[in-house]
Amino acid sequence: MYALTFLTLALACTGVAWSVGWVAAPLGYAAVSFAALGVAYAGAGPGLLLKRADGRRGVSAWLLLGPYFALNGLTFAAYRRLSREPAVTRVSADLSFGRRLTAAESLAECPAGGWAGVLDLAAEFAEVGPLRQSPGYRSLSVLDGTAPTPAQLREALAWRAAITGPVYVHCALGHGRSAWVVVAFWLATGEVPTVADGLRRLREVRPGARLNRAQRRGLLEV
């Protein structure tokens, strides 16, 4: 679905740019950006978004995907202004999950003593400085609307087991990918017996949390 959406946007931008000539160069640039996203969702994976292991995004990423990143930034800013949902939701003494934070929010939401670890799942956003400085920061890039791969799941479980203290797991909005990982943690440790129980527990504290069919299937392999 995501692959088809971005490829359709790329074709639409290309068609408009072709019809109006060189003055539509920005549309051509957008077409390239959306085409790259379509290819990523079609199978190339999150690596095509060029997010670094340290959570930063280099110049090459902006050159390829600038229009998409700009659109993402605008929609995220609008969401922050309109949403009444808390940025961070605590689900146990040492585990919280939620959305991407701004630099100011990351300082305001930080527990006493700081986060022992931060698991950043948002392939489409660079991480803010204060969270990158967490001693247990880990970037695990996952495309929006998808589930972590089995290898990423193993990495996330190993990361969680190695950290003592409060950790924060986040994606873009704190609804899908981060919820998936929290339920995976619970399933792996036996805190919940089924995917449905895990989701029910999450939605009690963060009603916006939800998983699509593919993400639910992925959790059955935990």
pLDDT band per the 50, 70, 90 thresholds, residue 220 = confident
Residue range 105-117, pLDDT digits in tens: 999 999 988 999 9
Task: Check if CATH label 3.40.50.2300 holds for domain 88-219.
Answer: no
Residue range 44-58, pLDDT digits in tens: 999 999 999 999 999
pTM of the model: 0.90
Report in angstroms the alpha-carbon separations of 131 from 105, 138, 139, 143, 193.
Answer: 10, 10, 11, 20, 32
Q: Which two tokens stand for residue 79?
A: 């969401």
CB 184 within 8 A of CB 219: yes
Residue range 10-35, pLDDT digits in tens: 455 555 555 555 556 677 788 888 88
d(Cα 61, Cα 64) in Å, to the nearest integer?
Answer: 5
Residue range 76-112, pLDDT digits in tens: 999 999 999 999 999 999 999 999 999 999 999 999 8
**Which pLDDT value is given to residue 7?**
47
Residue range 115-161, pLDDT digits in tens: 999 999 999 999 999 999 999 999 999 999 999 999 999 999 999 99
CB 153 within 8 A of CB 140: no
| Domain ranges for the chain | 2-82, 88-219
Region label for 30, one of left (φ > 0), alpha (ψ between -120 and 50) or beta (otherwise): alpha
